[in-house]
Amino acid sequence: MSELFKYDDDREAASAAKVRALEALLIEKGVLGSDSVDTVLSHFETMAGPFNGAKIVARAWTDPAFKARLVEDTPKAIAEMDFPAGMEGAEGEHMAAVANGDGVHNLIICTLCSCYPWPVLGLPPYWYKDPVFRARGVREPRAVLKEFGVPVSDDTEVKVWDSSAQIRWFVIPERPAGTEGMSEAELAALVTPEAMMGVALVPSPSASPRPVV
């Protein structure tokens, strides 16, 4: 990942410490129960996260008809899969998928704040909320992608999609070479949140050098 958007370990550690202190204070004052905290953590560990998005992408890679339905009506297509109830809640309303392919690469940002499809991508990383990333993603997406290790050729169109409370985008990345014959579960294991945001490519199982888009 680009040095510009790499996590600041000290800042993250300080933020985590503040969250723990606030949590402890709220529990001590009776404002928040420890069982409530456990419920929220369990939700993001077992029900809402990038593992869901990876399964969706793997299905799209192996089933072209499903992929077409996913792009046309994302919530309806996701409803076909065996996910727990509530995928449409907690930042999952109005999700929409766009597909990378020959001559096109998609990048997801949120210029206003940090709207993000939590049920399929998990919680947004720190750099996604950074004003620098949000602004540069609009102005110079090719430069941003290059810094993330995704150089885009001049003949490839870069489409930037702005997530909001009205619509939350995610990317169906291109299926990497060398994955013929792999099961959906094996394919899903290759998919990263960054690839579903458009700031990374899915590497081939052979870990070959990252190709130019």
* pLDDT score of 12: 52
Q: What are the residues whose beta carbons fall under 8 Å from the beta carbon of 12, sequence distance 6 or more?
A: 126
Instruction: Give the tens place of pLDDT for each residue, 137-183.
Output: 999 999 999 999 999 999 999 999 999 988 999 999 999 999 999 99
User: Using an 8 Å Cβ cutoff, are 12 and 159 in contact?
Assistant: no
C-alpha to C-alpha distances, 185 to 54, 56, 181, nearest whole angstrom: 9, 11, 12
Instruction: Name the helix (H) or strand (E) containing 105.
Output: strand 104-109
State yes or no: is 113 an active-site residue. Answer: yes
113 belongs to an annotated ligand binding site = yes
3-state secondary structure (DSSP) of residue 71: helix
**Quick one: how far is CA 156 from the chain centroid?**
22
**Cα(208)–Cα(121) distance, rounded to whole angstroms?**
25
State yes or no: is 115 an active-site residue. Answer: yes
**Cα(189)–Cα(183) distance, rounded to whole angstroms?**
10
**Cα(63)–Cα(162) distance, rounded to whole angstroms?**
27
114 belongs to an annotated ligand binding site = yes
Walk along the chain (213 residues) and give the pLDDT tens digit of each residue. Answer: 455 444 445 555 554 454 455 555 555 656 555 554 444 444 444 455 899 999 999 999 999 999 999 999 999 999 999 876 656 555 557 899 999 999 999 999 999 887 889 889 988 888 998 999 999 999 999 999 999 999 999 999 999 999 998 899 999 999 999 999 999 999 999 999 999 999 999 999 876 444 445
* pLDDT score of 83: 79
* 98 beta partners: 171
* pLDDT score of 61: 98
* pLDDT score of 172: 98
115 belongs to an annotated ligand binding site = yes
| Residue from 113, 153, 164, 183 carrying the catalytic annotation | 113
**Quick one: how far is CA 51 from the chain centroid?**
10
204 belongs to an annotated ligand binding site = no
199 DSSP 8-state letter: S
State yes or no: is 42 an active-site residue. Answer: no
